[in-house]
Every structure is written in C-alpha cells, then in structure tokens.
Amino acid sequence: MKPVKIGPYVLPSNVVLAPMAGVTDRPFRQLCKAMGAGMAVSEMVASNSLLWGSEKTRRRANHEGEVDPISVQIAGADPAMMAQAAQYNVDQGAQIIDINMGCPAKKVCNVMAGSALLQNEPLVKRIVEAHRGQVQAQNADPGLRVTITLPTVEESTQLLGSDASAA
C-alpha cells in the first residue's frame, strides 16, 4: 500500500483514527499510535475563541507526549474564527488541521457547521482560504485535511427535514 502523505508529513501507517467526541482524548490517541495508527485526530475543538479557556478545550489542546504528526479537528462556520482557531491550535502544537465537514450531529449542523457546510460551497471556499492565509501568514504550514463523512439516510432526513421515504 502506498504511504499516506499530508503536507510534509508521511504517516508511518495508513491507519487513521478519526476524531470522536468523548473518545479520542490524548491517552486514547497515544494508545492508538502505540498500537500502529499512523495518525490519531483529536476530538473536535470549537472555533469560538470564547471557549478556548475552558477546561475541556485546554485538555483537548494538550498534546504533551504525543507522537507526530499531531492533528486537531476544528469546527465552525465563520471563516475568520476558523482561521483563528487553526492558528490557536498550531500554537498549541498541531501540525495538521482537520476542518470538520462531515459531522451530522444536530447541535453541530444547527450552527451551519459540520456536514451542513457542504450546502454552502462559497462558504467552504472562504473558510479554507482564511485558514491558509492565517496559518501561512504566521510562518506555519500544517497540512490541510478536510473531513467528509457522508451521513446515513436517517441522519440526512433529520438534518435536512426531508422525507427520505419519498426517494
């Protein structure tokens, strides 16, 4: 199998642990990497800077003792806030920023984040451009990885309010 390369980082294996709220904390990521995962993405961090001082966010941004590459997932819908969140996480040690565009959870989609972003391509473009501009302006260059997880029919029905049985 061909090695996976993200920006300047070549993963030691093709196994990637996806970010999962309440699961992919630092000890679990360290365990998965020790057991052969090439990369373990942190739990989703909100782009709202008002939350960065919370214990939960500080814990998620702690990468002490982690093996490279360090990947953090951020979520939000405001390009400027997303860019600031990317820089905040790079400053905390992140080497790869994962922009969440796949989470189908209602509380995430209700604020136009996660998989709801896929309904607005111009907004996605502005988020990616703002992210690149902010991080490159700070002389940091983490790989940019965008998650896309396709929701199930049931989740799509809940998110979009459509009648899946009519399809």
Active site positions, annotated: 103
Taking the C-alpha atoms of residue 108 and residue 154, their distance in angstroms, rounded to an integer, is 16
Taking the C-alpha atoms of residue 89 and residue 110, their distance in angstroms, rounded to an integer, is 24
For residue 14, what are the CA distances in angstroms to 3, 10, 40, 153? 6, 10, 11, 28
Give Cβ neighbours of residue 133 (< 8 Å, ≥ 6 apart): 83
Could you tell me which of 19, 13, 1 has the C-alpha nearest to residue 96? 19
**134 dihedral zone (left: phi>0; alpha: psi -120 to 50; beta):** alpha
| H/E stretch holding 141 | none
The answer to whether the beta carbons of residues 131 and 83 sit under 8 Å apart is: yes
